[in-house]
Structure 1
C-alpha cells in the first residue's frame, strides 16, 4: 500500500537529517546519560534530585506534582504513543503484516525477553522484592541500538538493520504488555469505566472513518487522564490511543497515522527520550565498589542484558534457520548476526522505565537497577560494535 506523505512528514524528515540521522539519536542518549552521571557524582546530587523530585509550586494535574512525574507519566505517554503508532503500522502494513516475515522477529524477541528474565531470577532470586525486577533486562532500546548500527554505516547489511528494528518493535509490544499486566496497581473502577467509555469513543471515530484530528486528540487526552487516575500506568494510554488512529488515507489523500508518526518521531528522539534519560540515569557512585556491582539486582540486570539478550536472540536465529522455521536475514554472516544479537542487550530507555515501576517504594533498589542497566547496556554496545566493526560480510553468491 502506497501512502503519500503529508507536508509535516517532509519537515520531520528534514529535521532528522539536520540532526545527523539515526546515529545522532543514540549518541545524544549516551551524552545525556553521561552528563547525568557526572552531575550526580561531582557534588550536585542534591540539586539534581531537587530539580526532578522536588515538589512543584503549581501543577495542573494533582497526581503529577514533580518534574520527574511529568516526564515519566506525561512525556513518556507520548513516547509510548509513537511506539504504538509504529507497532500498528508494522502489523497492518509492514514487516509484521506477513506471517512468514514475522516468524523470526517474533521468535527472536520472545527468546530475547525470556532468557534475560530467567538469568535475572537465577541471580537475584525469586523472593520479595527482588523478583519484581525480572522484566528490567527484557527490553531493547531502539534508539541506542540503531544509533550504534548507524555509526557502522554500510558495514552492516540493510537486512540486519531491518531485523533489529522489527525485533525491537515486537520487544516494545511485549514490554507494554508486561507493564499493563504485571506493574499495574489496584484499579479504581470509576476511572477505569471512564477510560473505557473514552476508548469506545475513539474506536467509534475510527469505525465511522472520521479523520478530524482534534477530535482524536481531545478524547486521547481524556483517556490519558482517566488511566492516570485509574491505577493503570498512564503510559499505557499512549499505546491504546495509538491503536485507534486510522492508517488508511483520508479524503485529502494522506494518512493520519503516518502524519503523526513522522511529525512526532524527531521530538521523541531528540527531546522526550533524552529528557527521560537525563532525569533517570543519574546514579550516585559514591560508596559503590565492586561489591556493589555484585549485589543481586545490578548483577542480575547487567547479566540479563549482556548475556541473556545475545544468548536468547542468537539461539533463536540459529534454531529457526536450522529447522526451517524461518531463514536468517539475507546477506548477513553468522558473526554479524551474533553482533546484532549483542546490540539487543542495550536496554536503556525501557529498562530504566520498568526499573522505576518494579520498585516504586524502594528508591535504593531503583538506583541499583539503574546501575545494572547502565553497565549491561554499556558492555553490550561496546562488544556489539566491536563484533560488527570487525566482522566480514559473507561472500556474494556466484552466478551459475
Structure 2
C-alpha cells in the first residue's frame, strides 16, 4: 500500500475550506472594528479630555453582595472577553473533532508552531528582564497572537494568498489562545478560593448535560453559563477560563438528520457578538494608555519591559513558529506543499507577532492598573503589533503578487458542482491512498 507524504500547509477539504472562508469574513470585519475602537481609546487617552476617559473606565456597576461590583474596564476584561474565549473554545473543539485537524498529521504543524511561538518570545522577554523584580512577571505578554487583528491584516494585504495559509494562521492563533488561557489559569491566579471553584462545577455540569442532550433554550443555558462565570470569578481564577470550559462542553458532531451540530449553531449566534462587540469594547478600554508625548514615548522604549515585549513579538514569534515548523518537516519527513515556499511560512510567522487582545489582558494581570510597568507594557504591545504588521505586509505583499495568477486560474477551474478541481483532486488522491 502506497503511503502519501505529509504536506505542510496543504489544502484542506472543500467543506473545511468553505467553513474557514465564512469564519474569516467575520474575523476580518471584527478586526477592523477592533482597530477602530483601539485607536479611539488611544487617542482619547492622550487628548485634553483624558480625564473623562479615565472616569469612564473607572465607573463601577454590578451587585456588591455578589462581589461583582466592577469597573467598566474590569467588566470588559473579565466579562466580555469570556464571550471571546467561549467562541475560541467552540472553534478549537470543532477543529480537532470535526475539522481537517482531527488528522494528527495535519494538526502537528500548527500545534507545534503555536508552542514554538509561545516558548521563544517568553525566553527572549525573560532573558532581557532576568534581573528579576516586578518586570519579570510579564514573561507571558508577548506569547499571544490576536486572531481578529492578524486575520484583518492578512485579508487586506494577501487576498490572493493560498487559503491553506489562512487556515494555518487561524488554527495556530486558536491553539495559541488555549495555551494563553492555561498560562493565565496556572500562573496568574494569586488567591485561589477552593469553595467557589468547587461550586463552579455544578452549573458547568448542568450546562454540559443540557447541551449534550441538544437543549438550546436560552433561558436555561445562559443563567447556568453566567453562574459558572461568576463562581469562576469568585474563585480567583480569571473568569475568562469559564468561557473556554463552556465552549468545550458543547457537542460538535451532529445527530443523524439534524443538520448543523450544536457547536456550529452556537458559533453562528455568538461569533458576531464576540468580534463586533466584546473584543472592540475591551480594546477601547485596554488600549487607552497615556504615552506622555514624544519624550514619554522615547523614554518607554528604553524600559526592559518594553524591549522584552517588542522583541518577543517582532523577533521571538517568527523564530519560534518558523523553527517549530521546520523541525516538524525535518523529523517527520513532511514536505512543503507544491504551491508554497518557505518564505510564505516566514511571512505568516511574522504576522503572528501581532498580539493585542490577550497580550493586553496578560499585561493587566501581570502588573495591575496604574503601574508604570503596565503603561509601558501597553505601549510595547501596540508598538510590537504595528511593527509586526508592517514587516509582514512587506513580505506577504510580494508573495501575494506571485499567487495572483494561480488564484485567477483556480477561480476559472471549477466544474458545475461549484467545487474547484484542486479540492476534488486532493480528495481523490486521499481516497486512492487509503485504498
TM-score (norm 1): 0.88
Do the aligned residues in 1 keep the contact of 2:26 with 2:271 (CA within 8 Å)?
Answer: no
Task: Report the 3-state secondary structure (helix = DSSP H, G, I; strand = E; otherwise coil) of the residue aligned with 1:265.
Answer: helix
Corresponding residue for 1:52? Answer: 57
Distance 2:224 2:26 in 1: 33
Distance 2:83 2:62 in 1: 24
Comparing 254-263 and 122-131, the one that deviates more: 122-131
Do the aligned residues in 1 keep the contact of 2:214 with 2:262 (CA within 8 Å)?
Answer: no
- Per-residue CA deviations over 1:289-317 (Å, capped at 9, x if unaligned) read 42321201111111100000011111222
Question: Are 2:309 and 1:268 aligned?
Answer: no
Distance 1:243 1:57 in 2: 28
- Unpaired runs of 5+ in structure 2? 1-12, 407-435
- Superposition CA RMSD, Å: 2.6
* Superposition pairs of residues 237-252 of structure 1, within 5 angstroms: 237-249=242-254, 252=258
Question: Are 2:112 and 1:101 aligned?
Answer: no
Do the aligned residues in 1 keep the contact of 2:26 with 2:272 (CA within 8 Å)?
Answer: no
Comparing 184-193 and 244-253, the one that deviates more: 244-253
Cα distance change on mapping 1:151 and 1:59 into 2, 3 Å: farther
Report how many aligned residue pairs link the two structures. 382
Question: Are 2:181 and 1:176 aligned?
Answer: yes
Corresponding residue for 1:316? Answer: 324
Do the aligned residues in 2 keep the contact of 1:87 with 1:169 (CA within 8 Å)?
Answer: yes
Question: Are 2:343 and 1:343 aligned?
Answer: no
Comparing 369-378 and 46-55, the one that deviates more: 46-55
Cα distance change on mapping 1:133 and 1:95 into 2, 3 Å: farther
Of 40, 64, 79, which residue of structure 1 is paired with 2:84? 79
Cα distance change on mapping 1:282 and 1:265 into 2, 3 Å: same
Of 225, 241, 248, which residue of structure 1 is paired with 2:230? 225
Of 361, 364, 382, which residue of structure 2 is paired with 1:356? 364
Do the aligned residues in 1 keep the contact of 2:363 with 2:378 (CA within 8 Å)?
Answer: yes
Corresponding residue for 2:71? Answer: 66
Corresponding residue for 1:202? Answer: 207
- Per-residue CA deviations over 1:136-193 (Å, capped at 9, x if unaligned) read 0000001111111111343311111111111111111111111111111222122112
Distance 2:376 2:29 in 1: 28
Of 31, 36, 40, which residue of structure 2 is paired with 1:35? 40
Of 374, 382, 392, which residue of structure 2 is paired with 1:366? 374
Give 1:38 deviation, angstroms: 1.2
Cα distance change on mapping 1:210 and 1:147 into 2, 3 Å: closer
Cα distance change on mapping 1:40 and 1:130 into 2, 3 Å: same
Task: Report the 3-state secondary structure (helix = DSSP H, G, I; strand = E; otherwise coil) of the residue aligned with 2:52.
Answer: helix
Give 1:218 deviation, angstroms: 2.7
Do the aligned residues in 2 keep the contact of 1:56 with 1:65 (CA within 8 Å)?
Answer: yes
Give 1:348 deviation, angstroms: 0.7
- Per-residue CA deviations over 1:47-80 (Å, capped at 9, x if unaligned) read 1111011334977854333111111111111111
Give 1:233 deviation, angstroms: 0.9
Distance 1:357 1:168 in 2: 20
- Unpaired runs of 5+ in structure 1? 5-9
Distance 1:377 1:107 in 2: 22
Distance 2:100 2:188 in 1: 29
Give 1:210 deviation, angstroms: 4.4
Comparing 215-224 and 302-311, the one that deviates more: 215-224
Distance 2:194 2:221 in 1: 24
Comparing 224-233 and 183-192, the one that deviates more: 183-192
Do the aligned residues in 2 keep the contact of 1:160 with 1:329 (CA within 8 Å)?
Answer: no
Of 371, 382, 386, which residue of structure 2 is paired with 1:378? 386
Q: 4+ runs of 1 displaced by more than 6 Å? A: 57-60
Task: Report the 3-state secondary structure (helix = DSSP H, G, I; strand = E; otherwise coil) of the residue aligned with 2:336.
Answer: coil
Question: Are 2:135 and 1:141 aligned?
Answer: no
Distance 1:34 1:69 in 2: 19
Give 1:216 deviation, angstroms: 3.0
Corresponding residue for 1:7? Answer: none
Cα distance change on mapping 1:369 and 1:243 into 2, 3 Å: same
Task: Report the 3-state secondary structure (helix = DSSP H, G, I; strand = E; otherwise coil) of the residue aligned with 1:69.
Answer: helix
